Structure 1
Amino acid sequence: MPNPLASLYPQHLATVRERADRALALGGFDHLLVAAGTPLRKFLDDQDYPFVVSPHFKHWVPLIDAPGSWVIHTPGNKPKLVFVQPHDYWHVVPEAPRGYWVEHFDIVIVRSFAEAVAQLPAGHCAVLAAASPGIDGVTANNPQLVLDYLHWHRSYKTPYELALMREASRIGTRAHRAAEAAFRAGESEFAIHLAYLAAARQIDAELPYASIVALNEHGAVLHYTHFDRVPPAHNHSFLIDAGASAAGYASDITRTYAAPQAAEFQALIDSVDAAQQGFVAQVRPGQNYAELHVHAHHVLAGVLREHGFLHMSAESAVESGVTGAFFPHGLGHPIGLQVHDVAGFQQNERGGTISRPDGHPYLRMTRMLEPGMAVTIEPGLYFIEMLLAELRDKPFASDIDWARVERFRQYGGIRIEDDVVCTSGAPENLTRDAFAAG
């Protein structure tokens, strides 16, 4: 059966080359040099941290294990891949490039990082590479004009990219099902995490971010990555925020589950889930993402009122900052080559910044939604003692049912997250589609 990506990649590459041509013209550059990157050495050791390829590099080629390699683009010429395949008996040597995309590149295989650098052209070059670790023989300049242009246009996903993001969602939802089953079986956080990895068939270093696997009150720690090895005496709730990768493209999925005896918590989950689907439905052209985030606060204030936590109006709860204690993070972020993808605040292709709304310091996107953009929608409600303590001495404290809040602290919190593509019409929900496909 032919690889469906084979028919999508040529147009993707043409789009990437066209964007590169325009970016280079802005700065008067002759060549674009894109480094895959090199591993970072552990301090006082002879071992490296797991290699993470540059997002700029994997935008051109579906290679995530090519340290020291380069993509060279010169307008008007066929792009060139300088691929490092070292002589090495200590480690597994990367296989020579093959597959649906190789015919579109001139490929040169070298045996060392230094030999790869020797292949780089002279002239006025835009060099996209990490500053640390440095690369001997070449200086990364990362021209801001070039980066701003490329990052802005990277917001608009090609059909090839969306195909890979759908695959990342399929892998992620398969693993989420395995994690839920492990929770239902009474496993520890660590065992649930292992079940997730086994179902995803990816190791930790291959996932787009460190998985959050939180039982009970641990769900109130927004970036909980501790992994208790022993199951709790009583399971009340389970929050998992975990994704998967496909050729370097990310999925980012969160689900929250209640134990069978926790009917009150399940009812709250159901209300947050309904609210979340309402926010997803608004991922349409012309929707201001920051305004959608503020709207989410008003809707979640209504959920808190409905379930007896608040006795104040939704407007008062938002204006006074009460909802910020229960929902202290942003509604979501761009997603693609990186789980928190670039240009979420960018004003236009020349740069600039669109500020966050006052009182919402953790929002990760302020752009207007347009067709081709992919974002997450991840509202949450949490019972975080540190934040709730700040409300106890406020004038409106009497409008909060503290006894009910205290009873729900055992559940930690709720977050429900989907990856959603803005189209010219109804949004495409990559996550729900993948769950529905089985």
Structure 2
Amino acid sequence: MKELANHYPAHLSELQQRTATILERENLSALAIHAGHAGRIFLDDMYYPFKTNPHFKAWLPIVDTPNCWLIVNGQDKPILAYYQPLDFWHKVSKLSDDYWTRFFDIKLIADADEIAAILPGNKQGVAYIGAHQDVANDLGFTDINPESVLNYFHYHRAYKTDYEFVCMREANRLAVLGHEAAKTAFYNQGSEFDIQLAYLQATGHSENEVPYGNIIALNENAAILHYTALEQSKPSKYLSFLIDAGASFHGYAADITRTYSFNQDEFADLIIAMNEMQLELVQGLKPGTSYVDLHIQNHYLLAALLQRFDLVNLDAQAMVSKGITGHFFPHGLGHHLGLQVHDMGGFMADDKGTHVNPPSDHSFLRTSRGIESKQVFTIEPGLYFIEYFLSALAKSDNAKYINWDKVDRFRKYGGIRIEDNVIVHQERLENMTRNFNLA
């Protein structure tokens, strides 16, 4: 992809500058960034799926090779120690020439222990960044994941480079392909497992390559927020389908949710209304505004929708003040997105890590940080009929405001969530998801 080659040098330059700044601030000479190694399953000879350290894959698109290292100081050509063993048990990922390789001093290692000869002999002033403290200790590091360094990178990671935008657009394009295939499989009356297979085939991903476990929920299963059971049996009746599924490209994630009704019924009308509400909330992503305020606005819009569909007999102001909307929407409006699905830095006021708590009555929020250009967010309002919350509501003083007959008719559908991935530019918004024609 030509765009990747065009934008990668500036991306690397930005990472070098960030590295130079924090090393000088913390009186460090270099960072040793460990991609990580695969964890062995207890009492077994197999390994858990390998997931690369996000601090490592920020620099280059190596996402499936363990035991690699980067040694960076913000000035010199970064050193990449690439693990390429002699192995007859497993397929070895060969390192081929690509748009990014000329920017690194590449050293091949056939054994993980060979990194000791490549790392600086004197570890004083060299910080280890990675998940394996035992490895760091064995290699002689004394400065392991310093909080000040992590805070700095996590804060600045919210500001994406043009290269990162290219990667995230491609992740969205792949995810939309999967969503379209999943939608077709639903209307063809596939099981949750059938729909999952259709999604993976359309994206070209294996189950371990998607950025998170896909939520493929039929009917009342849509009321389980992190439902990943994937039933192989088909339901006796098809009513609703909620899919929360993403894709990955060069280590960057897409995170998209859609909800469908099998019939043209009142639940289908409710989905249409939620879609309109979601699009209105997307337009609220403006530089200089508050994501917390946008989350709270979502509650007022949801309250108006609950009143409009005769689910709650109160006006929006009273409904929100009494906390009723939280029983139908028990999570945050969205989160930062990038190298991780729930990307870091969402609660930081500055690059020293000053924490900004969300309001106590909106504790499920995943970001309290102000909205700025070059940031990427998900916007994912929901409306659910969850037994846990409805039972609590039924026992509360607010039970008298609920149209329980209507609520009970909607329980079988589970719920609705609609989610897009949006880049905030200074003068405009870029809805990556909708740009690939997912209605």
Q: Fold-level match, TM-score > 0.5? A: yes
| CA offset digits 1:284-313 (Å, max 9, x no partner) | 101111111011011101010000001112
Higher mean C-alpha displacement, 368-377 vs 2-11: 2-11
1:216 aligns with 2:215: no
Q: 1:248 matched to which residue of 2?
A: 251
Pairwise CA distance, 1:426: 2.0
Pairwise CA distance, 1:352: 1.2
| CA offset digits 1:349-408 (Å, max 9, x no partner) | 111111111211211000001000001000000000110111112222111100000000
1:330 aligns with 2:329: no
Q: 1:127 matched to which residue of 2?
A: 128
Pick from 413, 416, 419: which aligns with 1:417? 419
Pick from 411, 419, 432: which aligns with 1:430? 432
1:159 aligns with 2:158: no
1:291 aligns with 2:293: yes
Pick from 210, 231, 234: which aligns with 2:234? 231
Higher mean C-alpha displacement, 330-339 vs 384-393: 384-393
Higher mean C-alpha displacement, 131-140 vs 366-375: 131-140
**AA in 2 matched with 1:410:** K
Higher mean C-alpha displacement, 210-219 vs 74-83: 74-83
**AA in 2 matched with 1:406:** D
Pick from 357, 367, 370: which aligns with 2:369? 367
Pick closer, same or farther for the CA change 1:96–1:6 going to 2, 3 Å. Answer: same
| Contact 1:170-1:435 within 8 A present in 2 as well | no
- State how far apart, in whole Å, the 2-side matches of 1:197 and 1:417 are: 19
Q: 2:99 matched to which residue of 1?
A: 100
**AA in 2 matched with 1:110:** I
| CA offset digits 1:306-336 (Å, max 9, x no partner) | 0000111212211211101100000000000
| Contact 1:286-1:369 within 8 A present in 2 as well | yes
| CA offset digits 1:194-244 (Å, max 9, x no partner) | 000000110111110000000000000000000110110100000000000
- State how far apart, in whole Å, the 2-side matches of 1:393 and 1:79 are: 61
Pairwise CA distance, 1:137: 2.1
- State how far apart, in whole Å, the 2-side matches of 1:137 and 1:150 are: 24
- State how far apart, in whole Å, the 1-side matches of 2:277 and 2:190 are: 30
Q: 2:189 matched to which residue of 1?
A: 186
Pick closer, same or farther for the CA change 1:47–1:133 going to 2, 3 Å. Answer: farther
- State how far apart, in whole Å, the 1-side matches of 2:140 and 2:60 are: 21
| Structure 2 unaligned spans of 5+ | none
Pairwise CA distance, 1:153: 0.7
| Structure 1 unaligned spans of 5+ | none
Pairwise CA distance, 1:25: 1.4
**AA in 2 matched with 1:209:** Y
| Contact 1:127-1:141 within 8 A present in 2 as well | yes
> Alignment identity in percent?
44
Q: 2:82 matched to which residue of 1?
A: 83
TM-score, normalised to structure 1, is: 0.97
Higher mean C-alpha displacement, 210-219 vs 422-431: 422-431
- State how far apart, in whole Å, the 2-side matches of 1:197 and 1:128 are: 32
| CA offset digits 1:83-128 (Å, max 9, x no partner) | 0101111111111142000011110001111102321113411210
Q: 1:398 matched to which residue of 2?
A: 400
**AA in 2 matched with 1:337:** L
- State how far apart, in whole Å, the 2-side matches of 1:131 and 1:321 are: 43
- State how far apart, in whole Å, the 1-side matches of 2:418 and 2:112 are: 43
- State how far apart, in whole Å, the 1-side matches of 2:134 and 2:385 are: 41
**AA in 1 matched with 2:237:** H
Pairwise CA distance, 1:133: 6.7
| CA offset digits 1:149-198 (Å, max 9, x no partner) | 11111100000000000000000000000000000000000000000000
Q: 1:196 matched to which residue of 2?
A: 199
Pick from 379, 388, 391: which aligns with 1:389? 391
Pairwise CA distance, 1:347: 1.4
- State how far apart, in whole Å, the 1-side matches of 2:50 and 2:261 are: 37
- State how far apart, in whole Å, the 1-side matches of 2:319 and 2:360 are: 15
Q: Secondary structure at the match of 1:127?
A: strand
Q: Secondary structure at the match of 1:348?
A: coil
| Contact 2:154-2:345 within 8 A present in 1 as well | yes
| Contact 1:12-1:159 within 8 A present in 2 as well | yes
Pairwise CA distance, 1:260: 2.1
Pick closer, same or farther for the CA change 1:85–1:342 going to 2, 3 Å. Answer: same
What value does the CA root-mean-square deviation take over the aligned residues? Answer: 1.3
- State how far apart, in whole Å, the 2-side matches of 1:158 and 1:74 are: 20
- State how far apart, in whole Å, the 2-side matches of 1:425 and 1:169 are: 22
**AA in 1 matched with 2:215:** I
- State how far apart, in whole Å, the 2-side matches of 1:412 and 1:364 are: 23
Alignment of 1:257-272 (within 5 A): 257-261=260-264, 263-272=265-274
TM-score, normalised to structure 2, is: 0.97
- State how far apart, in whole Å, the 1-side matches of 2:182 and 2:133 are: 36
